[in-house]
């Protein structure tokens, strides 16, 4: 059974930074891709960033140049470095993993950007 556990969320001022972590049970090499999604109050869940098993990355236009997704295979962990945070980045951030067409989700971590 795959388990994804996010951490690193919290309250930060505009312009600040946070690093989210997603620890996966088992080897992340088993996953075709891992990513971060977010859902703001009253909005649909949206893709933030994704990294494939080959190391390719893709980002939502709204976070390009500010967020960086990376993975540490030995630690079975995926990270999301978020810089220059804006109030509109406030959301619950979810870790996602895809394996053979099956999607797995973490329970989410709340990020609040406010002064």
User: 63-87 pLDDT, tens per residue?
Assistant: 999 999 999 887 789 999 999 999 9
Percentage of the chain surpassing pLDDT 90?
A: 82
DSSP symbol at 88? G
pLDDT at 28: 65
For tokens 């895809």, the residue is 98
Percentage of the chain surpassing pLDDT 70?
A: 98
Q: What is the C-alpha end-to-end distance of the chain, expressed in Å?
A: 40
Q: For the chain, how are helix, strand and coil distributed in percent, rounded to 5?
A: 10, 55, 40
Minimal CA–CA distance to 18: which of 75, 90, 95, 104?
90
State the average pLDDT over residues 36-60. Answer: 96
d(CA 68, CA 53): 16
């Amino acid at each position: 059974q795959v388990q994804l556990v996010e951490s690193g969320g919290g309250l930060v001022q505009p312009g600040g930074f946070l690093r989210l972590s997603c620890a996966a049970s088992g080897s992340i090499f088993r996953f075709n891709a891992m990513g971060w999604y977010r859902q703001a109050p009253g909005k649909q869940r949206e893709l933030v960033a994704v990294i494939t098993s080959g190391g390719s990355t893709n980002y939502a236009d709204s976070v390009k140049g500010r967020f960086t997704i990376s993975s540490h295979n030995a630690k079975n962990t995926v990270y999301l470095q978020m810089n220059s945070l804006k109030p509109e980045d406030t959301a619950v951030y979810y870790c996602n993993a895809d394996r053979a067409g099956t999607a797995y989700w973490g329970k989410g971590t709340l990020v609040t950007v406010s002064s």
